[in-house]
Amino acid sequence: MIDLRSDTLTRPTPAMRAAIAAAEVGDDVFGEDPSVRHLEEQSADLLGKEAALFVPSGTMGNQLGVRIHCGAGDEFLCEAECHILNQEQAASAQFFGVYGRPVAAEGHLLTVGHLEDKIRPDDVHYARTRMVCLENTHNRGGGRVLPFGEVEKISAWATANGLARHLDGARLFNAVVASGISAKDWAACFDTVSICFSKGLGAPVGSALVGPRDLIKQARRLRKALGGGWRQAGLLAAAASYALDNHVERLADDHANAQILADAIRQSDALKLVPALVETNIVIFEIEPRLGTAADFCKKLGVQGVGMFPFGKYRVRAVTHLDVTAEQVTQAAEILLELSE
């Protein structure tokens, strides 16, 4: 199976498994796991922030991020198709009484123009607007890298208006590699950033929430209440540290492999890239209805040994990652073209 359904499908490499086996561990709820401490320091340093908290998932990182900036009756502004609003069960509403307010934007790219009239006045009718949240790269937006200049402008606007700034950086390192802009520079535009080790970086489990020491302390307390206080988590942290040390630069290979797919899709009359620009490891395309629905089409691909993910009625997502080679992606592209004839 050439499995392009997601970049979460990667399995630890032999070298990563060796790092896991060699990890020193302790009880992290006691603050005594050296591998977790190392990962948290490493993550904070990489993003130029004071502190970090290792958490089981990107969802937990994002939701802790929401809760340390917002409370019941507050709202945060975010792009309408973002993960935090659409793929996290409205967790902030479910658990914290916080409303995520969707703001629609062409190409999923928010600008200050989209946001500036959205801050609610101080009036008993309204929720309190507390935060703006961005996603980089944008998953539903086809792995687009947010334009850095626009992110800087949104950040400055938010600060001037007393809003907190959170980044869902599940694929921040894809943005770093594709843009050449450092993780520190991206992170400087935000108060808190969540990053995922279990996507393109290829670790089995885990994310981090990174930010100022006082806020990360609050997040650590809340993580425990949510059942996320974990014990000898150093086994997982060692894998994540290994990924930060060894798997960041190679994301360029995934991006190059995504271009192989994009080029094939451009050759077919029955397939259309949405968006047309492929910048990182995510390729989203629409299929002609004569090929069936996306679910039917993905089934047919599966029979031919290619995994892709239905992402809408006629929309399909493919993601390149550590566990697929250029040869395999080339083969997948050929099968895709055969099935689109």
Ligand X SMILES: *Cc1c(COP(=O)(O)O)cnc(C)c1O
From first CA to last CA, the distance across the chain in angstroms is 22
Is 168 a binder of ligand X (CB under 6 A)?
Answer: yes
User: What does 258-293 look like in DSSP terms, one character per residue?
Assistant: HHHHHHHHHH-TTEEESSS---SSEEEEEE-GGG--
Please, which of residues 77-106 interact with ligand X by CB under 6 A? 83
* Assigned token pair, 194: 């969540």
Is 286 a binder of ligand X (CB under 6 A)?
Answer: no
Alpha-carbon span 179 to 186, nearest angstrom: 10
Which is nearer to ligand X, 57 or 304 (by Cβ)? 57
Is 170 a binder of ligand X (CB under 6 A)?
Answer: yes
- For residue 186, the minimal CB distance to ligand X (Å) is 14
Find all residues with CB under 8 Å of 113, minimum gap 6, and list them: none
Of all helices (H) and strands (E), which one includes residue 148?
Answer: helix 148-160
Please, which of residues 125-154 interact with ligand X by CB under 6 A? 135, 139
Which is nearer to ligand X, 12 or 58 (by Cβ)? 58
- For residue 60, the minimal CB distance to ligand X (Å) is 7
Find all residues with CB under 8 Å of 120, minimum gap 6, and list them: 75, 126, 127, 128, 129
- For residue 199, the minimal CB distance to ligand X (Å) is 6
Cβ atoms within 10 Å, residue 131: 23
C-alpha pair distances (Å), 124 with each of 64, 127, 185: 27, 8, 38
Cβ 187 vs Cβ 49: under 8 Å: yes
Chain centroid to CA 262: 21
Which is nearer to ligand X, 119 or 284 (by Cβ)? 284
Cβ atoms within 10 Å, residue 293: 16
Which range of residues in 9-17, 51-59, 295-303, 325-333 is near ligand X by CB under 6 A? 51-59
Is 317 a binder of ligand X (CB under 6 A)?
Answer: no
Is 57 a binder of ligand X (CB under 6 A)?
Answer: yes
Which is nearer to ligand X, 10 or 207 (by Cβ)? 207
User: What does 289-340 look like in DSSP terms, one character per residue?
Assistant: GGG--HHHHHHHHHHTTEE-EEEETTEEEEE--TT--HHHHHHHHHHHHHHT
3-state secondary structure of 219: helix
Which range of residues in 54-62, 100-108, 244-252, 261-269 is near ligand X by CB under 6 A? 54-62
From candidates 12, 58, 200, 228, binder to ligand X by CB under 6 A: 58
From candidates 10, 35, 43, 59, binder to ligand X by CB under 6 A: 59
Cβ 62 vs Cβ 83: under 8 Å: yes
Cis peptide before 275 (omega within 30 of 0): yes
- For residue 327, the minimal CB distance to ligand X (Å) is 26
Cβ 239 vs Cβ 12: under 8 Å: yes
- For residue 137, the minimal CB distance to ligand X (Å) is 8
Which range of residues in 52-60, 174-182, 236-244, 331-339 is near ligand X by CB under 6 A? 52-60
- For residue 44, the minimal CB distance to ligand X (Å) is 19
Which range of residues in 10-18, 100-108, 183-191, 195-203 is near ligand X by CB under 6 A? 195-203
Is 196 a binder of ligand X (CB under 6 A)?
Answer: yes
Which is nearer to ligand X, 81 or 152 (by Cβ)? 81
Cβ atoms within 10 Å, residue 26: 17
Of all helices (H) and strands (E), which one includes residue 256?
Answer: helix 251-267
Is 280 a binder of ligand X (CB under 6 A)?
Answer: no
Which range of residues in 67-75, 194-202, 278-286, 312-320 is near ligand X by CB under 6 A? 194-202
- For residue 320, the minimal CB distance to ligand X (Å) is 14
Which is nearer to ligand X, 119 or 154 (by Cβ)? 154
Where on the chain is the footprint of ligand X (CB under 6 A)?
A: 57-59, 62, 83, 135, 139, 168, 170, 196, 198-199, 207
